[in-house]
Amino acid sequence: MTTTEHDLIVVGAGFAGMYTTIHAARRGLDILGIEAGDDVGGTWYWNRYPGARCDVESIDYSYSFDDELQREWRWRERYATQPEILEYLSHVADRFDVRRHYRFGERVAGATWDEAAHRWTVRTQNGLTASARWLAMATGGLSQPQLPDIPGRDSFTGEVLQTSAWPHRQVDFTGKRVAVIGTGSSGVQAIPLIAATAAEVVVYQRSANYSIPAFNHPIDDDEWDRQQQNLRRRRELSWNGSAGSPWTSHPVPFDEATLAEREAVFEESWRRGGVLFAKAFQGLTVEPRINDAAREFFERKLAERVPDPHVRAALTPTDHPLGTKRICTDSSYYETFTLPHVRLVNLREDPLVAVDPTGIRTATGLREHDAIVYATGFDAMTGALTAMDIRGRDDRSLRDEWQGFPVTYLGIGLPGFPNLLVLNGPGSPSVLSNMALTSEQQGEYALRLIDHCRAEGLTSAEARADAATAWTEHSLELADRTLFGSAPSWYTGSNIEGKARGFLPYIGGFRAYIDRADQVAAEGYRGFILSTR
Ligand code: NA7
């Protein structure tokens, strides 16, 4: 098979890949996009489970780069569903003619740096090979699903489903006895909808999570008009905020607020919905006393939602401070456990032993099921890249290097891997921020680096090892000052056996990150080795 030659290969057609492709094409670069799915969408292409929804408001979780696009796309709900987001991304793809650049249904197997040519050669599992000077990895932070290695897992004879690889058809649970393993955001979103039609739902919970109601609603015309009038300001706040959204913490510090004020602030933040609750007071995920007050508030709310003290106790998180694992954003999750056909198995008390041909065996016995839904998460932030065989200078293997903690410069550059630009990589704000905007920022940053090199006649840009080490240490130090490190979560890699532990995203805030990254660029890409072949 012949190897095609390009300026830039973009892997992935989610928010970041599409942004990069659109803007690379505008610059006149010859681009090849490679995408494992059969169409655009990234996360939203794969995660088609019932109830799948973004936990960032739709008005914010959309591209900001084109005013007309912002005006013409009318979001239907405060928090968009997966089909609506996929429809949006498909619309963007049509509007900017994105698909013509992509080869779909092609999963990258590996990529090799050619030091003599200063080019990458990329191979897909189907045997497609292509070469380019630049390689942008827009492969997503939550795109490498993890299916736990439970004894007997593959012996089950009923239907097996995975939230992150959901079939492209309506799955009918009517009259079925369904097991759900996993109670992160995916499980929490899917369980109420599965319970709406299933005859029986058994939820196998290893760790209870904090889940806060979304207070989702359809956006009526009045609200839409208000949002549109306010959009410029809203975007400004988002681009200058810590998490790519317009919301900020209460201006009065927790310690200066009276008990009544604290209660009112928690209530208001609660009503704002979902993950935004963690923003109630500045320092909520830093200071144990603020976190405890938020937790107590949460527990009182939980008591209203789940009257049965035994079930409630099992649903109460005990192993992490509030907000240090991603808060789930739900619609009627806890209320689902008040239904007579829904049961919770607390795996901490009744451990999972094996999957049998007919069901799931725990220490107390076998429960029979017609279907098992795995909502068991991802090898987050690094998994998509370590799944590929990426070979940098001197045959350095990215997979081997990331056996240890991933050392990156700004999340984008990797020492030893020239011209490999990781978008939303470990060491960038990524999942802690609104990924629609981080994707724009990351894509633009990568393209400006390419512009710079082209303008200067340079053919290679590689992060310096000392710059990457300093950045990664800085990122880890910031995380150490918070409560995040004490939580076993995918943010720290602790959900994957054998994965190096450490806080993966950059927690210093979206704006602070942009300022640091822009400063690097303004100083001629300080920390990158720029060279000519
Ligand atoms: P998460 O948040 O990683 O949740 C995965 C869930 O699966 C979590 O409850 C895990 O329990 C559970 N799990 C994983 N392995 C097992 C085994 N072996 N046995 C029992 N339970 C298990 O993934 P999601 O897809 O829900 O959400 C990911 C992100 O997507 C989310 O944060 C949003 O940002 C969007 P554990 O907590 O590890 O004890």
- Is there a domain that residue 515 lies in? yes
Mark whether 223 and 327 lie in a shared domain.
yes
* Domain carrying residue 248: 211-374
Mean pLDDT, rounded, for 297-313: 96
Q: Which residues contact 270 (CB under 8 A, 6 or more apart)?
A: 212, 213, 277, 297, 301
Mark whether 99 and 138 lie in a shared domain.
yes
Mark whether 219 and 242 lie in a shared domain.
yes
Q: 214 C-alpha to center of ligand 1: Å?
A: 19
- Is there a domain that residue 181 lies in? no
With a 6 A CB cut-off, is 44 part of the ligand 1 pocket? Answer: no
Question: H or E stretch including 530?
Answer: strand 528-531
With contact defined as beta carbons under 8 Å apart, do 198 and 373 qualify?
A: no
490-510 pLDDT tens trace: 999 999 999 999 999 999 999
- Is there a domain that residue 113 lies in? yes
Ligand 1 atom with the smallest distance to the CA of 495 is 38
With a 6 A CB cut-off, is 323 part of the ligand 1 pocket? Answer: no
Q: For position 267, what pLDDT does the model report?
A: 97
DSSP 8-state secondary structure symbol assigned to residue 274:
G
Atom 25, ligand 1: residue with shortest CA distance: 377
Mark whether 439 and 333 lie in a shared domain.
no
| Nearest by Cα to 214 from 306, 327, 321, 296 | 327
Mean pLDDT, rounded, for 387-400: 98
DSSP-derived pairing of the beta strands 359-362 and 352-355:
antiparallel
Mean pLDDT, rounded, for 320-334: 96
Domain final position from 355, 374, 393: 374
DSSP 8-state secondary structure symbol assigned to residue 507:
-
- Is there a domain that residue 229 lies in? yes
CATH number at residue 9: 3.50.50.60
CB burial of residue 212 (10 Å; 0-12, 13-18, 19+): buried
Q: What angle do CA 104, 144, 528 make, to 5 degrees?
A: 85
265-280 pLDDT tens trace: 999 999 999 999 999 9
- Is there a domain that residue 359 lies in? yes
pLDDT above 90: residue 486: no
Share of the chain above pLDDT 70, in %: 100
pTM: 0.97
36-60 pLDDT tens trace: 999 999 999 999 999 999 999 999 9
Q: 323 C-alpha to center of ligand 1: Å?
A: 15
- Is there a domain that residue 186 lies in? no
With a 6 A CB cut-off, is 376 part of the ligand 1 pocket? Answer: yes
Q: For position 436, what pLDDT does the model report?
A: 98
Mean pLDDT, rounded, for 243-253: 95
Mark whether 320 and 233 lie in a shared domain.
yes
Mark whether 367 and 403 lie in a shared domain.
no
Domain final position from 374, 408, 426: 374
Mean pLDDT, rounded, for 394-422: 97
With a 6 A CB cut-off, is 184 part of the ligand 1 pocket? Answer: yes
Mean pLDDT, rounded, for 111-117: 98
Tokens standing for residue 318: 């005990």
426-436 pLDDT tens trace: 999 999 999 99
Atom 32, ligand 1: residue with shortest CA distance: 326
Q: Return the best residue to mutate from 79, 189, 206, 346 for the ligand 1 pocket (most ligand atoms within 8 A of CB).
A: 206
Mark whether 77 and 223 lie in a shared domain.
no
With a 6 A CB cut-off, is 142 part of the ligand 1 pocket? Answer: yes
Q: 60 C-alpha to center of ligand 1: Å?
A: 25
pLDDT above 90: residue 485: no
With a 6 A CB cut-off, is 375 part of the ligand 1 pocket? Answer: yes
Ligand 1 atom with the smallest distance to the CA of 188 is 26
436-446 pLDDT tens trace: 999 999 999 99
67-77 pLDDT tens trace: 999 999 999 99
Tokens standing for residue 462: 């590689």
**N residues, the chain:** 533
With a 6 A CB cut-off, is 490 part of the ligand 1 pocket? Answer: yes
- Is there a domain that residue 193 lies in? no
Mark whether 133 and 273 lie in a shared domain.
no
Tokens standing for residue 83: 């089909």
84-97 pLDDT tens trace: 999 999 999 999 99
DSSP 8-state secondary structure symbol assigned to residue 501:
P
With a 6 A CB cut-off, is 183 part of the ligand 1 pocket? Answer: yes
Mean pLDDT, rounded, for 229-253: 96
| Nearest by Cα to 372 from 516, 157, 227 | 157
Q: Return the best residue to mutate from 43, 376, 489, 499 for the ligand 1 pocket (most ligand atoms within 8 A of CB).
A: 376
Mark whether 328 and 474 lie in a shared domain.
no
Ligand 1 atom with the smallest distance to the CA of 431 is 34
With a 6 A CB cut-off, is 426 part of the ligand 1 pocket? Answer: no
DSSP string, 394-413: GG-BHHHHTTS----BTTTB
Q: 155 C-alpha to center of ligand 1: Å?
A: 22
Instruction: For the chain, give the mean pLDDT.
Output: 97
Q: For 370, phi and psi rounded to 5 degrees?
A: -90, -25
Mark whether 394 and 521 lie in a shared domain.
yes
Q: 67 C-alpha to center of ligand 1: Å?
A: 37
Mark whether 124 and 246 lie in a shared domain.
no
Mark whether 11 and 120 lie in a shared domain.
yes
With a 6 A CB cut-off, is 207 part of the ligand 1 pocket? Answer: yes
Number of compact structural domains in the chain: 2
198-220 pLDDT tens trace: 999 999 999 999 999 999 999 99
Tokens standing for residue 169: 């058809």
- Is there a domain that residue 158 lies in? no
Burial string for 356-393 (b: 16+ CB within 10 Å, else e) reads beebbbbeeeebebbbbbbbbbbbbbbbbbbbbebbbe
Q: For position 8, what pLDDT does the model report?
A: 98
Domain final position from 374, 392, 420: 374
| Nearest by Cα to 449 from 434, 459, 437 | 459
